[in-house]
Structure 1
Amino acid sequence: MNLDEVVTEVAERLSASVVLVDRAFSLIAYSTQSPGVDKDRVQSILARSCPPDARAWYESFGIADTTRPVVTPENPDIEASARICLPARYAGTAYGYLFVLPDESSNVTERDLTAAMSLAGQAGAELAHTSRGRDHMAVAVADLLEGDRKAFARALPRIEDSGLFPDGCALTVLAVDGLLPAPGTRTLLAPIGSLTAVLVPAAAGAVDPVRSIAESGAGAGSLVGVGGSTQGLRSARRSWQQAKIAVRVARHDNSIGPIAYWEELGIYRLSSCGPAGLLAEAVLTPSVRALLDHRNIDLLVTAQTYLDQAGDTGATAGVLGIHRQTLYYRLAKIEEITGLDLSVGAQRLELHVGLTLGRFIFEHLRTEETRSGAET
């Protein structure tokens, strides 16, 4: 009996809706027993279970150690309804949990729960075997994407043996910052730093697996960077680097995301063209730095908005909610500080690139410096 069949069987026995998660609280399978609980509702239920405080709430009932069903009460603080947790255990370890949400009309008995626990044990055995294989494959994926030459050479045949990526097949790599409901069997995942890397092979059909996985992560409250499509595993690292840049852009620019596609990043793609320090030096010209160093937030916002509106003063004044005379005063002040003539296209471009891309790169450098300081 596979995991979907286990979930369906438990749902039918208990007249309940059932969600199966692994021990990291990632969605594995869900039932369709209750007509009122559709996929979006299930993902909503799961997303409310996965933040650290919510996960701690469930684990405080000893679900990782018990061999019996556990009833968890309603908790408005984490927007969780009352439910029954059936630990999916194997060889003394909980590899996942079946969360049961009984229908209002259902009457779950001790006998029902005993039978359900037997099914939970079957799920635990299946999760244990897939978990071990997944752990080994996660190491291979991490080595493929960020390992040195020897690690890459070891990882390549191991991933090729999975059969998911035939020689030269198209694939895309995603970088997920946050929760990712289990995307299915035709993907490979690996935690890398604070992100989760997801290798997705191209698939023929009406459903785009890349978009589906990205939307699933975004629906759970995560930021998702999607690298460009590439041919073959040997080029996967390029797509991964693009996906990482995309998720950084989504963090930096609220107008992009929660899903950021490499192909749609525009000028931000230039940040992949060389070391961040050199790029910052190139785009943060003395004129741009003069405005940034002036630290007048009104002038910075005005400059960015004016340039984003292609120099349209009427549109800029409307977006900012200010009188045109106020806008003209600010633009004159910006020209005075920077020494640029905003009526000249090349000089407008210098400031636009510096404010848009330069601040993004500078923010990244500052984050890296903070991280390095914390590690030392």
Structure 2
Amino acid sequence: MSERESLQRLVDTLAEKLGRSVVLDDPELKLIVASRHFGDADDQRVRAVLQRDVGVPAIGYILGHGVARWTSPGVIPANAELGMKSRLCYPVRWQAQLLGFLLVIDDDLSMTAAQKQNVVDAGHEAAVLLLGEQLGQDLLRREVEACVSGLLSAEPMRRDAAVRELDRLGVVRRSTHVSITVVELVPGHEPVESTEAASALRIATSGLARARSGYAAGVALGGRGVLLQTWDTPPGEDRLRDQAADLREAVRRVVGDHGGSVAGVGRLRTGLTAAHRAYDEACVAARAARRVPSLGGVALADELGPLELLLRLPDHELTDALVPEPLIRLRDADSTGRLLTTLRTYLDEGCSAPATAEALHLHRTSLYYRLERIQEHTGIDLNDGRARLLLHLGLYLLDIVG
């Protein structure tokens, strides 16, 4: 009898003894085995059994209760919005290593101490069986992460070897286009442990990867979640942005109040061997999303403009000291922010007075008055092209340094 068959038998025996539905999930809450129904199934159980995936919201809700740190059975409260009844959750461990979760539906919280002990005893048996299976799964995960890491390397030989290995593993199908999205944690008031951070990033990216089976891989690398995707036809920017937002939401549901996240999307590239370029751009975009609040936590490399160049400077350079002094004077004199807004719009509109006046809903006389004030405070002639470039870059720097 295989380990999987033994686990199924174990869960079935426990469910019959309890008269309740039971599932065994892995540490990322992917279904391993499930018992038959006992008339207590809810929407989440039905989805888990039929689709073998409870969905990111439910995963985040469960993990958000800190179950990965539990060492004894505990109750996960019901959640009507998710269509989820309350459950007894027991973390299955081998020594300190988390191997999975036994989840038993307990809608009326009527499980006795003896029944809970039955769950604990079954968990001990499951740990022995899961250990061997977990080692195999960990090996495959490490292989996939090593392949993706090689694919994103700056070394051509490593990239070529990674493409061959991905082909062998059958993880990602080759297609014309490739995209990379990265998601990074932004710590909150309470720190996130490194293992929990990696788990959150892996859950978020692998969850989206499963939705495009064969055309995506989600991994956690170097403190980032990385979503690698191949496409037969190029996706639109809205789709890539929505995916990035979904990644952020998935991470939020897992880490809860411990922090948030930002996401960056690289440019669409041709062929897997160009994925490293998309990754580099995605990392810069994520940095922009972290440093520029107006981006709303998600940035696409294609939309960064000069920000992309400036954000390749090291952090210790990106300070107020880098902002041109004339722009600092203007900022300090501009209590309402109107002059800065006018200058930005004027430069963005190619120094066209009619276009600027229309964009700001200003009469041209008012615009000319503001431009004169800008020149007075900065001491710069706006007819000088190099001076305009200096001010324009300075405005982007102000976005970054605040």
User: TM over 0.5, yes or no?
Assistant: yes
**How far 1:247 moved relative to its partner?**
0.8
Displacement after TM superposition at 1:214 (Å)? 2.7
Deviation, 1:236, is: 0.6
Query: How far 1:229 sits from its partner (Å)?
Result: 2.0
User: What's the counterpart of residue 200 of structure 1?
Assistant: 229
Q: 2:327 aligns with which of 291, 295, 314?
A: 291
1:223 positional shift: 1.6
Do residues 158 (structure 1) and 165 (structure 2) align? yes
Q: Deviations over 1:189-231 (max 9, x none)?
A: 4433332222122267999996675343221333221212222
The answer to whether the Cα contact below 8 Å between 1:87 and 1:96 also exists between their aligned partners in 2 is: yes
CA contact (8 A) 2:176 2:230 kept: yes
Unmatched runs of 5 consecutive residues or more in structure 1: 64-69, 75-80, 319-323, 364-376
Query: Residue type of the partner of 1:201?
Result: T
1:102 to 102, 106, 110: 106
CA distance in 1, matches of 2:274, 2:288: 22
> 1:138 touches 1:188 (CA, 8 Å); kept in 2?
no
Match of 2:119 in 1: 113
Q: What is the aligned partner in structure 2 of residue 306 from structure 1?
A: 342
Alignment of 1:352 onto 2:392 = yes
Distance in 2, matches of 1:102 and 1:132, equals: 35
Give me the whole-angstrom Cα distance separating, in 2, the residues matched to 1:19 and 1:212: 32
Aligned mate of 1:236, from 267, 275, 278: 275
Q: Distance in 1 between matches of 2:341 and 2:382?
A: 13
CA 1:50–1:147: 2 relative to 1, 3 Å: farther
Q: CA 1:161 to 1:148, structure 2 compared with 1: closer, same or farther past 3 Å?
A: same
Q: Distance in 2 between matches of 1:265 and 1:218?
A: 19
TM-score between both structures, scaled by the size of structure 2: 0.59
Match of 2:180 in 1: 173
Secondary structure of 2:179's aligned partner:
strand
What is the match of residue 47 of structure 1? 60
Deviation at 1:89?
4.8
Q: Does 1:62 align with 2:86?
A: no
Checking the alignment, whether the CA contact within 8 Å between 1:224 and 1:260 is kept in structure 2 is yes
Distance 1:140 1:127 in 2: 20
The CA deviation at 1:291 is 1.9
**Paired residue for 2:149?**
142
Give the match's secondary structure for 1:248.
Answer: helix
Aligned to 2:294, the other structure's residue is in SS state coil
Pairwise CA distance, 1:166: 4.3
Q: What is the rounded CA distance, in whole Å, between the counterparts of 1:33 and 1:298 in structure 2?
A: 62
1:276 alignment counterpart:
313
1:218 aligns with 2:248: yes
| Structure having the higher Rg | 2
CA change 1:49–1:355 in 2 (3 A) is farther
Paired residue secondary structure (1:340)? coil
Q: Verify the 8 A CA contact 1:169 1:202 in the aligned structure 2.
A: yes
Alignment partner of 1:351: what SS? Answer: helix
SS in 2 for 1:14: coil
Matched-pair contact (CA < 8 Å) for 1:335–1:341: yes
Name the SS for the 2:91 alignment partner.
Answer: strand
Contact preservation (8 Å) 2:89, 2:104: yes
Is the contact made by 2:175 and 2:230 (CA closer than 8 Å) also made in structure 1?
A: no
CA contact (8 A) 2:301 2:308 kept: yes
Identity of aligned residues (%): 24
Return the alpha-carbon distance in structure 2 between the equivalents of residues 11 and 45 of structure 1: 22
- From 283, 294, 300, the counterpart of 1:261: 300
- Unaligned 5+ runs, structure 2: 35-39, 78-84, 186-199, 253-260, 347-352
Instruction: Please report how far the alpha carbon of residue 164 of structure 1 lies from its aligned counterpart in structure 2 after TM superposition.
Output: 3.5
| Contact in 2 for aligned 1:19/1:100 (Cα 8 Å) | no
Q: Which residue of 2 aligns with 1:336?
A: 376
TM (norm. structure 1) is 0.63
- Indicate if the aligned counterparts of 2:264 and 2:282 stay in contact, CA closer than 8 A: yes
- Structure 1 partner of 2:90: 86
Aligned counterpart for 1:191 among listed residues 220, 224, 238: 220
Aligned position for 2:255: none
SS at match of 2:277: helix
